[in-house]
């Protein structure tokens, strides 16, 4: 199987800094989207740490061995961010969500922590493959979403790992909440299935940016092909 991918990231219309990041490696079948937290440079550092460390990862021909290496790498990043937060002090949180898709031949693995999502469009059906690790809490200003799981977040990191079968013509969408919270499933499905992956992401991002766009937005889209 072969892959074609396209990615987009934008700070949105309110925030000056972009704390999102992504990593794309079509050759080895690895795609990642992250949404940093901690504010300003801390959030950017956290999400960028993921892409920077995977940039130097060595892959083998053994699928399961690569999965073990990927998981180990994620925990290394988790500890790196924890240590940086402790050195910063003042109850600092320097963390990030992660949603990761790894494919070799017809086998795939999704690993995630946080509320960044992975969707698949298969046979004209859009399916959300991940659960949001988040909850709503009441505050004096109304309800607010709080992450229950993420790299370097308070508490223990719990990676959600699932194995999936990969089929020709599958289209996978990895995205942060700044992208999906403005778009409904029908819009995502109809956009992805009717145009090229590049046009699909451009259309979705423009739809978000026509609204408030109060958060950073990032997405990676991957199409599975048999093209040589």
Class level of CATH domain 2-225: alpha beta
pLDDT digits (tens, 9 = 90+) for 115-156: 999 999 999 999 999 999 999 887 777 788 899 999 998 889
Q: In terms of pTM, does the model score above 0.85?
A: yes
Average pLDDT over residues 78-86: 93
Position of tokens 């999102």?
20
pLDDT digits (tens, 9 = 90+) for 146-189: 999 999 988 899 999 999 999 999 999 999 999 999 999 999 99
| % residues pLDDT > 90 (the chain) | 82
Handedness of CA 71, 77, 78, 83 (dihedral sign): positive
Average pLDDT over residues 55-61: 91
Residue of 18, 5, 57 whose CA lies nearest to 216: 18
Write down the pLDDT at residue 136: 87
Pairing of strands 160-165, 142-147: unpaired
Which tokens hold the place of 111?
């690993």
- Residue 15: strand, helix, or coil: coil
Write down the pLDDT at residue 93: 83
Q: How many CB atoms lie within 10 A of CB 168?
A: 13
Average pLDDT over residues 7-20: 94
Angle at 177 between CA 176 and CA 178, to 5 degrees: 90
Q: How far apart are CA 197 and CA 5, in angstroms?
A: 7
Write down the pLDDT at residue 31: 99
């Amino acid at each position: 199987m072969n892959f074609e991918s396209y990615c987009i990231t934008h700070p949105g219309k309110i925030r000056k800094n972009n704390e999102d990041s992504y990593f794309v490696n079509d050759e080895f079948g690895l795609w990642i989207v992250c949404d940093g937290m901690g504010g300003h440079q801390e959030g950017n550092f956290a999400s960028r740490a993921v892409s920077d460390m995977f940039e130097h990862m060595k892959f083998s021909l053994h699928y399961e061995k690569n999965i073990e290496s990927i998981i180990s790498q994620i925990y290394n990043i988790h500890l790196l961010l924890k240590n940086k937060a402790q050195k910063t002090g003042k109850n600092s949180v320097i963390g990030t969500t992660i949603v990761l898709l790894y494919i070799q031949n017809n086998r795939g693995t999704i690993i995630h922590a946080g509320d960044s999502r992975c969707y698949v469009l298969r046979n004209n059906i859009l399916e959300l493959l991940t659960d949001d690790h988040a909850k709503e809490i009441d505050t004096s200003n109304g309800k607010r979403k709080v992450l229950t799981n993420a790299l370097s977040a308070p508490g223990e990191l719990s990676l959600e790992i699932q194995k999936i079968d990969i089929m020709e013509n599958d289209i996978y969408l990895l995205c942060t909440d700044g992208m999906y919270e403005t778009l409904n499933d029908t819009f995502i499905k109809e956009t992805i299935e009717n145009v090229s992956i590049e046009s699909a992401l451009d259309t979705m991002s423009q739809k978000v940016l026509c609204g408030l766009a109060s958060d950073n937005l990032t997405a990676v889209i991957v199409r599975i092909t048999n093209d040589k």
